[in-house]
A and B are shown apart, each in its own frame.
Chain A
Amino acid sequence: MLKHFRVKPQPEQVVPDLGAISLSLLERDATLPFTIRQLNNLPENVKQRLYRGLIPPTLLTRFAIDPIHWINTNKEPRVFLKADSNSGKVLITARNSSDSSDEFFALELADNSLNGIELNLIVLNDPASLRYSIDETEDGQPTMFGTLNRNLKAEEQAFHAGLAPGQVRAGLGVSRMVFEQIDTFLSMLGHRAYFLEPLTYASAWVFERRGFAYVRGHKLMDDIHHEFQPGGALYQCLDDGSPFRKREQAHTVRGRAWAIHDGILEALNVRWDKIRMVKQIGRNAGVETFPQAEY
């Protein structure tokens, strides 16, 4: 009889390595999970057809882009697919004009080392809104969403304009639609979950509302909430010491996110690092680390 359990030394690869997708593989089992790499090794036209399923048609028609042909009314291409053979990544971007800075949609999925799926990038921008150059320092160096370098002037403007850290433009307000589309696409692929690492406290909050749970960092999120209460260690640090440390920031998701971006977590001896989230396809985990939050 089973008497004990012990911790497995290595994580288990649940999704098998299956080789190229062939008709006979497809016929074998309707539920086998496929990797991005397997998809990327299919012929071009098959890839185009399948990856069409990753972007909501409604989002494209909103910008007068044909959801099947991916072109605008002037027959100019507006949606771009990068899905190289033998690559485990796929990147889809969509723009409102020929200018790449008018990109309103960017999504990258990738295989991880266990043949699971990572969401590496999701950007949903309103191209009609004002752009803040938080992504570049004043002398043109990339900031990597403000994580490598910071453009403090642009950040302050963005903060006061109501953006969250890491955003160059206001959001489109379509995250629910886009995430439901991702769930549908991945269920077609045969996956039961996918993973991501939230860039900021604000993105983690958005992902919670989209139904994500935490692989790592749920306790940290609980601790952050606790310490932003009056009397808490983070609350004490909102002392006007910088433009991103105002007292009222304790009460909103964006406010907290900017304070964290500004380094306030050093008061807890931690960094915004190694937070990892998971979405079970078709399920909402109901996580709310900041109950009744004002964004």
Chain B
Amino acid sequence: MTSTHRITRAAHLESLNDFREFIKKQCARVPDINEEFLYDVQLAVDEACTNIMTHGYADLNPGSIILDLEIDPDELTVTLTDFGHSFEPSHTPIPDVDAPIEERALGGFGLFFILQSVDAMDYRVTEDGNKMILTKYLRKQLKENNEDRSET
């Protein structure tokens, strides 16, 4: 049984809290989701939204970020849709143009944190927006896999 929920907010930093609280509220209904899982999801969402806000809508009158959350017994999926500049994969980091030299050397953590926090990330540019799709597998499936392994 999949549950889906959606929240849309303006793409400015003040909205980060609303997105995190939304994730917290929806995940609270799922017994399989513990504190660590929740933090991972919140972190991935926060980092991805921050990127959209600071780079995707940079120099623009910020539009919306739509967060779609889908939870089924095996996995949790967050899709973040925005209508700003699209991203593309690169071997060079997005420069943090507001930061002094030392901090720029430290930049680029955002994507790294996202990849550390979720099991799969996909990015698509579509007719109805740029979509970042983050997937995290739920413990139940992992537990079952472990149990199977220990029986053989």
Contacts and interface: CB of A to CB of B under 8 A. Distances in A.
Contacts of A23: none
Contacts, number: 116
Given A33-B127, A287-B8, A6 B64 contact: no
A219 B86 CA distance: 19
B147 interface: no
A152 interface: no
A103 B66 CA distance: 37
A222 B65 CA distance: 14
B94 interface: yes
B111 A4 contact: yes
B64 A214 contact: yes
A214 B85 contact: no
Nearest to B126: A14
A217 B63 contact: yes
Given A4-B108, A4-B111, A7-B56, A216 B63 contact: yes
A33 B123 CA distance: 21
B51 interface: yes
B62 A218 contact: yes
A213 interface: yes
Given A4-B90, A5-B94, A213 B64 contact: yes
Contact of B63 (A2, A7, A215, A280): A215
B87 A6 contact: yes
B13 to A, nearest CB: 10
A214 B83 CA distance: 8
B67 to A, nearest CB: 10
Contacts of A91: none
Interface string A264-295: 00000000001110101100011100000000
B83, B88, B111, B125 — most chain A CB neighbours (10 Å) = B83
B48 to A, nearest CB: 10
B128 A5 contact: no
A189 to B, nearest CB: 11
Interface string B82-96: 010111111111100
A199 interface: no
Given A4-B89, A285-B66, A278 B60 contact: no
B52 to A, nearest CB: 10
Contact of A280 (B11, B88, B112, B128): B128
B10 A218 contact: yes
Given A191-B127, A213-B83, A280-B129, A7 B55 contact: yes
B56 A3 contact: no
29 contacts: A2-B111, A4-B89, A4-B91, A5-B88, A5-B94, A6-B87, A6-B90, A6-B92, A6-B93, A7-B86, A7-B88, A8-B87, A11-B85, A11-B86, A14-B125, A14-B126, A15-B127, A116-B127, A193-B129, A213-B66, A213-B83, A217-B62, A217-B63, A218-B11, A219-B10, A219-B61, A276-B63, A280-B129, A286-B7
The 8 A-B residue pairs with the shortest CB-CB distance in the complex, in nearest-first order: A193-B128, A218-B10, A213-B64, A215-B83, A5-B87, A6-B90, A214-B63, A192-B128
Given A5-B88, A8-B125, A216-B83, 10 more contacts: A5-B123, A7-B94, A12-B86, A216-B62, A216-B63, A218-B62, A219-B10, A222-B10, A278-B83, A286-B6
